[in-house]
């Protein structure tokens, strides 16, 4: 929840107004409650919708807040003067913004417009949630289309509903014509006072000071511990609002320490973000270290395919690799790299359990500190306005997040803004997506409606595709790496089980470079064979591409085949990011040498750390589902 001062007409983050100490209203929020101020672009969209649909904009200059709620795409509760006036959403069916007024929003519109209005005969029974037929209608406007949100009026009751048919059918259809959502008799009006951002900051100032103090104590409490107090401090500065606040907090908390900003340039950043990061640091004399991924994304996208919400290979390739080089320099004299980070638990389910500090599982020499992990978006923005900080201009242009411009976590509404603001960048990515989709028998509509953003479509997207008639079944394509079983899992005469397969995309010498991680190896180039022994089990790989796995049980054979497939794929799709080098405790791995792009020496102790850290193998289940055909021609057996 948040609160609202009835006297000052401002939102409050605590139940006390720092300006007047007057009456405070409690505003319960749906979803996670990560509420924020409406941006100028979003306010323009809302005004355009109100004017085009209803011919008026009752909100005027009043401050608007948006609260993110569940939906197919960008979906926000619209809150004005502490009142929930409706929902602003991006309609994935129409691929356009839409505003659905609540019963309060309908009351604000009623009296100012005749548009999108249905007047019912005085009701003698409860209307909320009911479907009404034509016989109940008294009159209706002629601009209504099926599915439109409408203003419902019945005597002194006013509220909202959904049209179940076009207005030209309302008078003659036999079925229901309108579904009433909710009507009420209260006369809702906006507050006579129009507040400014300065008013909001003033009313929240005591709470903002306490928030800032708590965050700075978190930074100082960890950074000043004995083992860390002499280390330089890096602030992870992405150019986004959260990292901006953390940078300001760190500079205030550690005034006598060496503090620098660390910017991971993924190579697919918005140009506005890159410019903002450099200009902000230069203007304030902040030392900036920029780690560039260069063309890493485009070099690897053909191998991995488009990233997805459940398959974010791009983050590992474009962020961890360049970050590693900076952390290496930071820790060359021993110790750890202290990094202050702006992650917040309200951003996503995956960040819900952030601790005050955490070691990076992929880069163990990095200690991350999260001083604003409990802050909500409104608190971040209030801090920015209180401190008078410049911020990334993309926030004012319709972007809720300002990360990589082609990130699958970005909303379709934001992709539409990308098309408008940077048509060349949009075209390059969209052309790739269309080419990728067509190669798999998918339609252009599959790309248009953003279905490429998941490896496995969630239920809401399955429903969307079905209702739009979009086929989501992909045809198989020839990959540069594949394994096809030529026999099922069958008992051996000598005991145990075997399975045979054909491997494409990996040479025998390349397999020899990595298979040490599974067991002891014998490689004979003359005989054209690689033998790997893992205890009593074995793998034989031949120069013809034939592969034979032998194990003591069917389950062991399945597991050994899977592990073998993972390591072969690891070589084939290696990005040379260097993460495995950092986690190997015995320095058994080399990259980009005369031995090949990836080589694991006999010094390997098979601890598995490099396998756990590998960007390729992190998503091996999804990648293998694309390239590993485990349906046996002999027995149709399959691996789990």
Q: Pairing between strand 337-340 and 233-236?
A: parallel
Using CA atoms, how far apart are residues 581 and 222, in angstroms rounded to an integer?
28
Report the alpha-carbon distance of residue 470 to residue 480 in Å, rounded. Answer: 28
How far apart are alpha carbons 3 and 418 in whole angstroms? 35
Residue, of 347 and 398, whose pLDDT is higher: 398
Inter-residue contact 64 to 44 (CB < 8 Å): no
Cα distance between residue 378 and residue 391, in whole Å: 15
pLDDT of residue 94: 92
pTM, two decimals, is 0.83
Section 219-225 average pLDDT: 91
Query: Contact, 6 vs 20, CB < 8 A?
Result: no
Contact 531/542 with Cβ under 8 angstroms?
A: no
pLDDT of residue 504: 82
3-state secondary structure of 486: coil
Residue 119 reports pLDDT greater than 50: yes
pLDDT surpasses 70 at 236: yes
Residue 636 has pLDDT above 90, yes or no: no
Mean pLDDT of the chain: 88
Is 142 a residue whose pLDDT tops 50? Answer: yes
More confident residue, 548 or 577: 548
- Per-residue confidence at 632, pLDDT binned at 50, 70, 90? very low
Q: Which residues contact 430 (CB under 8 A, 6 or more apart)?
A: 419, 447
Q: How far apart are CA 67 and CA 84, in angstroms?
A: 10
- Residue 640 CB coordination number (10 Å): 7
Q: Which residue has the higher pLDDT, 360 or 602?
A: 602
64/424 Cα distance (integer angstroms): 33
pLDDT digits (tens, 9 = 90+) for 198-214: 999 999 999 999 999 99
**Structural domains in the chain, sorted by start:** 2-184 (2.30.130.10), 197-396 (3.40.50.620), 422-468 (no CATH), 482-627 (3.30.310.10)
Residue 221: the pLDDT is 92
β-partners of residue 98 are 89
Phi-psi region of 276 (alpha: psi -120 to 50; beta: other; left: phi over 0): alpha
State mean pLDDT over 547-563: 90
Alpha carbon distance 341, 366 (integer Å) = 11
Q: Please choose, from the candidates 16, 36, 34, 18, the residue with its C-alpha nearest in 3D space to the C-alpha of residue 26.
A: 16
99 vs 88: CA distance, rounded Å: 5
> Does residue 623 have a pLDDT over 80?
no
The answer to whether the beta carbons of residues 549 and 556 sit under 8 Å apart is no
pLDDT of residue 333: 66
- pLDDT tens, 486-542? 777 778 766 788 888 888 888 888 888 899 999 999 988 777 789 999 988 999 988
pLDDT at 554: 87
Categorize the per-residue pLDDT at 635 as very low, low, confident or very high, splitting at 50, 70 and 90.
very low
pLDDT at 432: 96
Q: Which has the higher per-residue pLDDT, 373 or 317?
A: 373
The sign of the dihedral angle between the CA atoms of 191, 193, 197, 203 is: negative
Write out the DSSP string of 271-329: HHHHHHHHHHHHHHT--EEEEE-TTHHHHHHHHH-S-BTTB-HHHIIIIIHHHHHHHHH
Q: What confidence score (pLDDT) does residue 634 get?
A: 34
CA–CA gap between residue 338 and residue 219 (Å, rounded):
10
Structure tokens that stand for 556 in this block: 């062991």
What is the C-alpha separation between 301 and 306, in angstroms, rounded? Answer: 6
Report, as an integer, the average pLDDT of 442-451.
96
**What pLDDT, on the 0 to 100 scale, is given for residue 629?**
47
> Which pLDDT belongs to residue 639?
31
Beta carbons within 10 angstroms of residue 594's beta carbon: 6
Per-residue pLDDT at 363: 63
Please answer whether residues 357 and 222 qualify as being in contact, where contact means their C-beta atoms are separated by less than 8 angstroms: yes
CA 313 to mean position of chain CA atoms: 13
In this model, does residue 626 exceed pLDDT 70? no
| C-alpha torsion angle, residues 243, 244, 248, 253 (rounded to 10) | -10
CA distance 367 to 397: 34
479 by DSSP, 3-state: which? coil
The Cα–Cα gap between 441 and 438 comes to: 5
pLDDT score for 6: 93
**Rounded CA separation 21/577 (Å):** 56
What are φ and ψ of residue 537, in 5° steps? -95, 160
Q: Which two tokens stand for residue 200?
A: 């909001």
pLDDT at 167 over 80: yes
| Predicted confidence (pLDDT) per residue in 238-290, tens digit | 999 999 999 999 999 999 888 999 999 999 999 999 999 999 999 999 999 99
pLDDT of the residue at 192: 94
Above 90 in pLDDT, residue 228?
no
Range with lowest mean pLDDT among 35-39, 253-257, 467-471, 592-596? 592-596
pLDDT tens digits along 62-114: 999 999 999 999 999 999 999 999 999 999 999 999 999 999 999 999 989 99
What is the rounded average pLDDT of the residues 287-309? Answer: 89
In terms of residues, how long is the chain?
Answer: 640
Cα–Cα distances in Å, from 195 out to 9, 27, 60, 64?
6, 17, 12, 10
How far separated are the first and last CA of the chain, in Å rounded?
A: 45
């Amino acid at each position: 929840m948040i609160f609202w001062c009835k006297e000052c007409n401002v939102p409050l983050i605590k139940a006390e107004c720092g300006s007047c100490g007057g009456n405070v209203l409690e505003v319960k929020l749906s979803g996670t409650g990560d509420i924020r101020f409406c941006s100028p672009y979003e306010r323009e969209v809302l005004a355009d919708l109100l004017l085009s649909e209803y011919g008026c904009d009752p909100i005027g200059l009043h401050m608007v807040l948006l609260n993110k709620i569940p939906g197919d795409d960008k979906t926000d509760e619209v809150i004005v003067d502490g009142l929930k006036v409706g929902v602003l959403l991006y309609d994935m069916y129409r691929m356009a913004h839409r505003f659905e007024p609540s019963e309060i929003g309908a009351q604000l519109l009623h009296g100012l417009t005749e548009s999108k209005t249905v007047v019912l005969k005085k009701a003698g029974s409860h209307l909320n949630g009911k479907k009404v037929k034509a016989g109940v209608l008294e009159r209706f406007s002629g601009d209504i289309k099926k599915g439109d949100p409408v203003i419902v009026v019945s005597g002194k009751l006013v509220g909202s509903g959904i049209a179940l048919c076009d207005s030209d059918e309302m008078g003659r259809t036999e079925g229901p014509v309108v579904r009433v959502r909710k009507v009420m008799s209260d006369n809702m009006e906006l507050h006579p006072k129009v507040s400014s951002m300065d008013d909001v900051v003033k009313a929240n100032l005591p709470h903002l000071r306490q928030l800032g103090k708590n965050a700075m104590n978190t930074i100082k409490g960890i950074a000043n511990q004995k083992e860390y107090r002499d280390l330089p401090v890096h602030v992870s500065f992405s150019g986004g609002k959260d990292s901006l606040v953390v940078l300001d907090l760190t500079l205030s908390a550690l005034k006598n320490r060496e503090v620098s900003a660390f910017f991971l340039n993924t190579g697919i950043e918005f140009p506005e973000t890159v410019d903002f990061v450099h200009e902000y640091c230069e203007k304030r004399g902040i030392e900036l270290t920029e780690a560039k991924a260069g063309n890493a994304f485009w070099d690897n996208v053909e191998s991995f395919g488009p990233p997805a919400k459940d398959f974010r290979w791009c983050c590992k390739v474009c962020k961890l690799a360049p970050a590693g080089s900076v952390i290496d320099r930071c820790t060359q004299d021993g110790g750890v790299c202290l990094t202050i980070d702006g992650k917040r638990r309200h951003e996503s389910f995956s960040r819900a359990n952030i601790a005050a500090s955490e070691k990076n599982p992929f880069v163990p020499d990095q200690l991350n500190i999260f001083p604003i992990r409990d802050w909500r978006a409104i608190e971040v923005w209030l801090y920015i306005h209180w401190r008078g900080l410049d911020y990334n201009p993309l926030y004012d242009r319709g972007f809720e997040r300002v990360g990589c411009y082609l990130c699958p976590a970005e909303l379709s509404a934001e992709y539409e803004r990308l098309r408008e603001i940077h048509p060349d960048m949009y075209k390059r990515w969209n052309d790739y997506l269309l080419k990728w989709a067509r190669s798999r028998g998918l339609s252009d509509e599959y790309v248009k409606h953003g279905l490429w953003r998941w490896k496995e479509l969630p239920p809401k997207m399955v429903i969307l595709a079905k209702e739009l008639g979009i086929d989501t079944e992909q045809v198989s394509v020839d990959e540069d790496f594949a394994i096809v079983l030529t026999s099922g899992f069958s008992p051996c005469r000598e005991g145990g089980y075997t399975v045979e397969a054909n491997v494409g995309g990996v040479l025998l010498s390349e397999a020899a470079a990595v298979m040490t991680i599974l067991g002891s190896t014998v490689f004979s180039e003359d005989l054209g064979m690689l033998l790997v022994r893992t205890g009593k089990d074995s793998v034989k790989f031949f120069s013809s591409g034939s592969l034979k796995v032998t194990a003591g049980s069917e389950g062991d054979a399945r597991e050994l085949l899977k592990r073998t497939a993972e390591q072969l794929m690891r070589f084939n799709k290696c990005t040379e990011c260097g993460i495995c080098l950092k986690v190997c405790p015995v320095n058994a791995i080399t990259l980009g040498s005369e031995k090949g792009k990836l080589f694991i020496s006999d010094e390997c102790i098979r601890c598995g750390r490099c396998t756990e850290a590998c960007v390729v193998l992190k998503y091996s289940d999804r990648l293998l589902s694309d390239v590993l055909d485990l349906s046996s021609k002999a027995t149709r057996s399959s691996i789990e």
